[in-house]
Amino acid sequence: QVQLVESGGGLVQAGGSLRLSCAASGRIFSTWATGWFRQAPGKEREAVAAIKGRATLTYYSDSVKGRFTIAADADRNMVTLQLNNLKPEDTAVYYCAAASDVGVLSSPLEQEYYDYWGQGTQVSVSS
């Protein structure tokens, strides 16, 4: 079992930065991948970024590519998401998730493969 707790959300102005952390109890790197997803009010939850195990293989949605960076910290059993050059449309609840389904290796941004989810952290960006 893996339990995930997100932190680091907050309110920032457009152009600002935040760093989200996903702390795991249980061995997060025993899962195949860890991802960040977000859900804005009135919208479907969407993928933001993913990282395979402890690897340097990372994946991003087009909307955040070049602005967000996902990283794995094996020593701290944690995955982080650095958010730079934030825009008002980045406002959402951000969720960390881990995938024990090996199918995630072929589609790391597909939510269906993620079976462990955190409670989410709110990111609000003002214009």
**Inter-residue contact 60 to 49 (CB < 8 Å):** yes
pLDDT tens per residue, range 27-38: 766 788 999 999
Instruction: Tell me the C-alpha distance between 2 and 46, whole Å.
Output: 21
Q: Which is more confident, 25 or 68? A: 68
Beta bridge partners of 59: 50
Structure-block tokens of residue 39:
């859900």
**SS3 state at 106:** coil
Q: What is the dihedral of CA 123, 66, 43, 103, to 10 degrees?
A: -110
* Counts of helices then strands in the chain (DSSP H, E): 0, 11
pLDDT at 77: 86
pLDDT category at 53 given cuts 50, 70, 90 is confident
pLDDT tens per residue, range 80-112: 999 999 999 999 999 999 999 999 999 999 999
pLDDT at 123: 98
